[in-house]
Structure 1
Amino acid sequence: MDTNITTDWRDNKPLPECMMYMLNNEILCDVMFRVGDDKKPIKAHKYMLSSRSAVFHTMFEGSHQETGDITVSDVDEQTFRDILRYFYSDQITIGNDNVKEMLYAADKYMFAAVKRECETVLKTTAQSEHATKTLQTSYQYRLSDLKNESLDYIEMNTNACLLSEHSLNLSKDCLELILKSDYLNCSETEICQFTLKWGRHQCELTKLEPTGENIRKALEIICT
């Protein structure tokens, strides 16, 4: 009996495992991406990407087809690899540490399933003192139910939410959404104190002195 039989990597493996093996070992790959700030080279298969994303299908088969290496500067390497893993295997891990990056990539490549997974994760922070972060993210990516859920929690727990480390990073639009509410559970003095704090933070971000005039300019759209 021959004891030197070599087991083929395809033997007894389900399709997702075979596909991931081909991706990880760059077997028959026909497209090269340059990903992130370092332009990390990542190979993949046009057929597989086109089967999961209309954006990729247009990229490869549309009237203005991509030729040569494709630069992806706005998605980091790990996020891009995670997206590819989902394309090839339907497996993905999304948590509070990577949900914003995954949501951006899912929105960019019109991958609704990943976007829904991100929304599920974000629901856990919509009902916490970090609701301002969820409000900002849901507003940016047009997740109306999640936006309303975040606002509801902020209205009931205004002080705790405004003390969150994320509250100063609210955009003008999101801050205006909060300030327009008639149901905030805090005093007008506390709202004014937070608004001034937010204005000073905007000055710091733009490297301006936090003078009264500069703070007023940061707040002028909100206050009009």
Structure 2
Amino acid sequence: MNFQNTTALCNHFKYIISMPDLCDVRFLVGEEKIPIYGVKAIMATRSRTFYHLIIKHQKKQEMSFEKKGKKKKTSAKHLTIDVKKYDANVFRKIIQFVHCGSVDITMENVAGLLCGSCQFGLEDLTSACWDFIERCIQADNIHQILVAARQYSKHRIITLLLNKYLFIY
């Protein structure tokens, strides 16, 4: 017999990322630099892109401490990474997906989630976003997605989305 309770596990991970003291990485998101927290080990194992991003910033932080002649403090310091391209609510959902494997996709956030899933190598989320978009097209709800997508127009995947579906509306 194999018993699994993934709902409880997911709820625990959501709790962990809501508590900055339990996390070891802090993302400063958007122009407002809103802090969003995560756990490096989980993020690095779920996404190769996050792994490389974390390693790159850890090395930068270590070099910065060495140049200043200070010892690295291993206590309550978070590794801090700036993320400018995303809306904070969308990035929070991306982090939630990485930690929990689930996320609520809406017409307002699908474009941002699609960008994040492509950028951070989250193929299952990419597939879910495209599936959601296809369902919205069938229900004649593409306009709201395209309006929200304009915020992410600098992302290559959004150019593809707009080129593919703009003619419908």
Q: What is the TM-score when the length of structure 1 is the normalising length?
A: 0.51
SS in 1 for 2:27: strand
Distance in 2, Cα, partners of 1:59 & 1:21: 24
Partner SS state of residue 22, structure 2: coil
**Which residue number corresponds to residue 141 of structure 1?**
157
In structure 2, relative to structure 1, the CA distance for the partners of 1:62 and 1:29 (3 Å cut) is same
CA shift, 1:130, in A, is: 4.2
CA distance in 2: counterparts of 1:130 and 1:14, whole angstroms: 35
TM-aligned CA deviation for residue 101 of structure 1: 1.1
Q: Deviations over 1:126-162 (max 9, x none)?
A: 444848x49x99xx42998xx77x59xx6xxxxxx4x
For CA contacts below 8 A with separation 6 or more, give which structure has more relative contact order: 2
Aligned residues: 139
Structure-to-structure mapping, 1:123-162, within 5 angstroms: 123-127=134-138, 128=140, 130=142, 133=146, 140-141=156-157, 150=165, 161=168
Contiguous gaps of at least 5 residues in structure 2: 1-6, 62-78
What code does the residue aligned with 1:51 have? T
Aligned to 1:116, which of 127, 145, 163? Answer: 127
Query: In the alignment, is residue 89 of structure 1 matched against residue 100 of structure 2?
Result: yes
For residue 60 of structure 1, report the CA deviation from its aligned partner: 2.3
- How far residue 124 of structure 1 moved from its aligned partner, in angstroms, is 2.5
Shift of 1:121: 1.0
Alignment CA distance shift 1:126-1:14 (3 Å): closer
Question: What CA distance in whole angstroms lies between the structure 1 residues aligned with 2:105 and 2:159?
Answer: 17
Match of 2:44 among 47, 50, 56: 50
Letter in 2 for 1:81: R
Matched, 1:104 2:115: yes
Verify the 8 A CA contact 2:57 2:81 in the aligned structure 1: no
In structure 1, runs of 5+ residues without a counterpart are 1-12, 155-160, 165-224
In proportion to residue count, which structure has more helix? Answer: 2
Which residue pairs with 1:41 in the alignment?
A: 35
Over 3 Å counting, the alpha-carbon distance change for 1:129 and 1:103 in structure 2 is: closer
| In 2, Cα distance between equivalents of 1:107 and 1:142 | 10
Aligned to 2:53, which of 59, 64, 75?
A: 59
- The one-letter amino acid paired with 2:14 is M
For residue 132 of structure 2, give the secondary structure of its aligned residue in structure 1. helix
Root-mean-square deviation over aligned CA pairs: 3.5
Give the alignment's TM-score, normalised by structure 2: 0.66
Query: Structure 1, residues 180-212: CA drift from partner, whole Å, max 9, x if none?
Result: xxxxxxxxxxxxxxxxxxxxxxxxxxxxxxxxx
Give the deviation of 1:91 after TM superposition: 1.6
Look up the match of 1:22. 16
Q: Deviations over 1:56-90 (max 9, x none)?
A: 11122359845352110111110111111111222
> What is aligned with 2:81?
70
Q: Structure 1 vs Structure 2: percent identity of aligned residues? A: 21
Q: Which 4+ stretches in 1 moved above 4 angstroms? A: none
Report deviation, 1:116. 0.6
Q: Against the structure 1 CA distance between its residues 29 and 142, is the aligned structure 2 distance closer, same or farther, given a 3 Å change threshold? A: closer
